[in-house]
Chains A and B, each alone.
Chain A
Amino acid sequence: QKEVEQNSGPLSVPEGAIASLNCTYSDRVSQSFFWYRQYSGKSPELIMSIYSNGDKEDGRFTAQLNKASQYVSLLIRDSQPSDSATYLCAAPRGGNAGKSTFGDGTTLTVKP
């Protein structure tokens, strides 16, 4: 089992729709969770951090965390073509200075 698993994608949504990206993690002691966006040919860019159960909203982005289910999601409302990218979920192991575990990423395409 991978430490962090994301829905494999690719995911395609029409412009203006809600895009839903999902992630599960295996380490129950993970305390922090991050979503990164990577445009083709660019480096991953942090877009959301979430540490507590529930929802965290930032503009059109909402991160949701359920520690009991070991599940993290990212919702993108009013999707725009500029949201087309690969989204990486990260769930560092609790208290570990080593490998910060990333999912393989989900590629999102928003069609005009």
Chain B
Amino acid sequence: EPEVTQTPSHQVTQMGQEVILRCVPISNHLYFYWYRQILGQKVEFLVSFYNNEISEKSEIFDDQFSVERPDGSNFTLKIRSTKLEDSAMYFCASRGETNQPQHFGDGTRLSIL
């Protein structure tokens, strides 16, 4: 069964550095999402992406964050000038047509030191 894949599974980065989290959505999906989950807390929406542009973003998704679909398969989340509070699990999700469910990747655990 097709699945969303995320790399790396764990990323350790020094505070202030830039980090890029990578996702390969399911191949025929059209909508892409990033979520964040701080340890012990709820899943929080960051951004959705459709037709090569951001369709919606949360208040968390400020200028520190950006997303890109550099080619036909990858979907990336870039976090600039990382802070300690960026430490979290980051999930990528994708879905097909409207009314279809999102499918999540296994996540990238980001640790900022």
A: which residues have CB within 8 A of B? 31-32, 34, 36, 38, 42-46, 49, 51, 88, 90, 92, 95, 97-102, 104-105
Q: Given the complex, which residues of A lie within 8 Å of B48, measured CB to CB?
A: 97-100
* B99 in contact with A105 (CB, 8 Å): no
B107: which of A31, A43, A92, A100 is its contact (CB, 8 Å)?
A43
**Given contacts A98-B56, A99-B48, A105 and B104 within 8 Å (CB-CB):** no
For the complex, give the distance between the alpha carbons of A42 and B95 in Å.
19
One of B42, B56, B102 near A104 (C-beta < 8 A) = B42
Closest 9 CB pairs of A and B: A98-B56, A32-B99, A97-B50, A43-B104, A98-B55, A34-B101, A99-B56, A104-B42, A97-B55
Shortest distance between the CB of A31 and any CB in chain B (Å): 5
| Range class of the B interface residue count | 20 to 34
- The smallest C-beta distance from B69 to any residue of chain A, in angstroms, reads 14
Q: Is B31 at the interface (CB under 8 A from chain A)?
A: yes
From A46, A88, A95, A98, give the contact of B43 (CB < 8 A): A88
Contact A38 B43 (CB under 8 A): yes
Contact of A105 among B43, B58, B105 (CB under 8 A): B43
Can you show 10 pairs from A to B with CB atoms below 8 A apart?
A32-B100, A34-B101, A42-B107, A44-B43, A45-B104, A97-B98, A98-B50, A99-B45, A99-B56, A102-B43
Which one of A38, A42, A49, A104 lies within 8 Å of B101 (CB-CB)? A49
Indicate the member of B93, B95, B100, B102 with the most A CB atoms within 10 Å. Answer: B102
Question: Which chain B residues border A98 with CB–CB below 8 Å?
Answer: 48, 50, 55-56
A80 to B100, alpha carbons, bound, how many Å? 29
